[in-house]
Structure 1
Amino acid sequence: MGLFDIFKGSPVRVNEDNKTTEMRKQQSLIFENYISGMKKETAFKAYALQLCINRISNAIVKCDFNTFNKGTNEPGTVWYQLNVEPNQNQNAADFWNKVIEQMVMNEEGALIVQDSMTGELLVADSFTVKKYAFKPNSYAYVLINGYTIQHSFSEKEVMHLRLNNSKIKAIFDGIYSEYSTFLDGAIRNYNRSNAIKYALNIDATFDQLKNKPVLDEDGNQVIKDGLPLTEYDDVIDDMFENRLKPVFSEKDSVTPLESGLGLSDLNATGNSKSSGSAANKTTRDISAMVDDIINMAADAFAIPRGLLKGDTADVNSMTDNFISLCINPIAEQIEDEINRKLYGKDNVLKHTYCRVKTEHIRNSDITKLATSAELMSRIGAWSLNDILAFIGEESINEDWADKHIMSKNYALIEDALKGGENNEENQDNV
């Protein structure tokens, strides 16, 4: 049975056993922690990981999945699925985004299966794999959009994609858990330095209110929290519970103070911007640490640091490194998996296969390509339609547009070494 025959029918919801329920909970927890970022400790890590996922998936989306039939480029059903619509609920961009996200977030990678009824390609949300040494691996408990597939799959019936270092996220998690203590310290220092701090000055005049009890309607001293209440206590409680709230709000405010009370700004000297209570502490320490986290994530996934953070300096060199070190290995793995599962050995040996082209990841400037395109045409490597295809334009439906030409300035090396009249005659005949 091939990949096109893996489903006995469309997926249906079934009663989940305990193992499947536990897997669903684990999957939910992963995305709650890393995607939602409910905790600040997780949010910075999720931000760095999402930057990496977005950069990689956006690059894969720009790749061309070219399909060949005996060496001839022939778009067909597989081409349409890989480039336009893998299934009725996803376009190619959504599909490959989910594939890359699963490859990064799931230590076991991404699993692609195909519905035999419709031929649609679907990405599993979770699955379990049982590995063997001398027979195909087995995949079970495959969940897709809340539906559980009732049977297991062998290795040849699925496309299984993993990062070259499948434990890269786990390693990054371990590094971050150590580094997050420094980040937490920087956040606490920032909050502590920027907190508004006042001192309440109480002199002897106000202190005399301790001798004046607060009486109720019957003339008895009021008891509060088990202690006799004085005017001193009443005023102090009112200040902290009511009067000082407007002072610490974002709006302008005025509060009355009894004789003998005074407020002094503890931030008025030392680390203040002026004579007010705003501290001179900035977020640069925190942002520098967040940059460190992003840099660590970039290094882990072989993405140039500047490219991950959107720097524009030397972007061409960074893009070349990004494609060579990060994207090409992933694209080659996707290509190999498609060819060995969808086409098979016999077809590949007959040059019927899929090629993942990464040239279009880099934006092409036609003015910069003109010289190179002319050279490729002059040596007979490209036809006019080949050039149009490279720059993303529609081909010309004429026989002459597919013909290859060569300049007469080129000759076989053995003819060029002969020299004299024979050489000139041979060059004219090339």
Structure 2
Amino acid sequence: MGLISTVLKRNSELEWLFDLELGDEVSQRAYLKKLALETCINFIGRTISQSEFRMMKDNKRQSNDWDYLLNVRPNTDQSAADFWHKFIYTLIDENEVLVILTKSNDLLIADSFTRDEYAVYPDVFRDVTVKDYTFQSPFPMDKVIYITYNNEKLTSFMDGMFNDYADLFSRMVEISLRNNQIRGTVGIDSSQTLDEKTQTKLQKFIDKLFNSFRKNSVALVPKLKGFEYDEVAKGEGNGQSIDELTKLKKSLIDDVANILGIPNALVHGDLADYETSIKAYVKFCIGPLVKKIKDELNAKILEKKDYLAGSRIEVRGITEKSPLEVAEAIDKLIASGGWNRNEVREMVGSERSDNPELDKYVITKNYQSAGLVEGGEKK
């Protein structure tokens, strides 16, 4: 009541009113950048995490330590799915990923490192840090798994675009809030200039009024002599709608998805063109990533002589379709005699069978040249 009584007894010039804060600054929408990156990168990460890595020798799968590390437990703290998810996220977000093999046979994804580049010798990675531990010994290029994604770091490449989107989104939110807010005026009767202490108290009182209107569906204002509050306008719901804000966020995600090669229909869950989108996604986004991973694993895990002798690391489970989805096509391939059944099993991601019958070529259709067709009467 001391503040109100002071206000009632004083009159003042208007200059001090300009020091009062009657609103908030427009906030930066940093979460827009995180939303777009998380949506698109995690979409790819979840896909790659379903891969199966096979150690092959003469087209037969081999079981060894690498098979366990790549498919079951790469290290003591991560499952294979978690490991490959983080692997892809780091690769795309940081534009590179480094994996080291420790003396305890754990595969670890480096959080930071320093790379020393050489012209004719293998590059060396120093100060490799995983979580809070930094390895003192260096790691040469031929002893690590190292993949780059693009020519430029994705986040730095898109910073300018994200800033523009953030400014636009902030302004749209600001306009929407302004068009739906309740406005009022405060009248103060004072006879002299208010000192700094009284101004501070008055500012706190106005802040309470502002927060009351902003946070509560119902707010009461004391109507006292010398202090008047008049409501001058009510929000009528005009201006930017929620749909327009949603479209802006969707547009940002679309731009990121296009850069990464993800069809927009897939990332938004649109099933209208699902089959076409899946084919494009596998061919232009997942296929190149799988090829990069497979080439690096073959180069770093296998010796050159073993590779030339028929050893391979294959990545299965992503680019192949389910046999039930292509059953009709499988029947035609086998029936024409162009492929045997073991070759078709490999096409759909299954392992070859030891049954020698499946290595034979069979023809169940009457495929032959026109000159060999018999029938009719000879003249």
Contact 1:172 1:300 in 2 (8 A): no
1:267 is aligned to 233
1:278-317 correspondence to structure 2 within 5 Å:
281-317=240-276
* Cα distance change of structure 1 residues 401 and 119 upon mapping to structure 2, 3 Å threshold: farther
Aligned length: 346
Q: Give the distance between the partners of 1:345 and 1:188, measured in 2 at CA.
A: 62
1:4-19 correspondence to structure 2 within 5 Å:
none
1:18-29 correspondence to structure 2 within 5 Å:
none
Q: Give the distance between the partners of 1:303 and 1:169, measured in 2 at CA.
A: 17
Percent of aligned pairs sharing the same letter: 23
1:250 correspondence with 2:216: yes
What is the aligned-residue RMSD (CA, Å)? Answer: 3.8
Q: Give the distance between the partners of 1:78 and 1:195, measured in 2 at CA.
A: 62
2:372 is aligned to 419
Q: CA deviation at 1:265?
A: 3.4
1:55-88 Cα offsets, whole Å, 9 max, x none, are: 1111111223222112323343322222222122
1:383 correspondence with 2:353: no
Q: CA deviation at 1:165?
A: 3.3
1:102-150 Cα offsets, whole Å, 9 max, x none, are: 112224x1111112x3322221111111112221111111112221111
Contact 1:45 1:176 in 2 (8 A): yes
Contact 2:126 2:137 in 1 (8 A): yes
Q: CA deviation at 1:407?
A: 2.1
1:61-210 correspondence to structure 2 within 5 Å:
61-107=49-95, 109-115=96-102, 117-200=103-186
1:427 is aligned to none
Q: Give the distance between the partners of 2:195 and 2:273, measured in 1 at CA.
A: 69
Which deviates more from structure 2 when the two are superposed, residues 236-245 or residues 346-355?
A: 236-245
Contact 2:320 2:347 in 1 (8 A): no
Q: Give the distance between the partners of 1:89 and 1:181, measured in 2 at CA.
A: 40
Contact 1:62 1:360 in 2 (8 A): no
- In the alignment, structure 1 segments of 5+ residues that lack a partner are 1-38, 214-222, 274-278, 422-430
1:373 correspondence with 2:337: no
* TM-score, structure 2 as length reference: 0.76
Which deviates more from structure 2 when the two are superposed, residues 383-392 or residues 346-355?
A: 383-392
- In the alignment, structure 2 segments of 5+ residues that lack a partner are 1-26, 375-379
1:9-60 Cα offsets, whole Å, 9 max, x none, are: xxxxxxxxxxxxxxxxxxxxxxxxxxxxxx8532111111111221111111
**Residue from 46, 49, 56 that aligns with 2:34:** 46
1 or 2 for the larger relative contact order (CA 8 Å, sep ≥6)? 2
Q: CA deviation at 1:401?
A: 7.5
Q: CA deviation at 1:239?
A: 7.7
Alignment partner of 1:141: what SS? Answer: strand
Contact 1:385 1:395 in 2 (8 A): yes
Q: Give the distance between the partners of 1:295 and 1:189, measured in 2 at CA.
A: 24
Q: CA deviation at 1:94?
A: 0.8
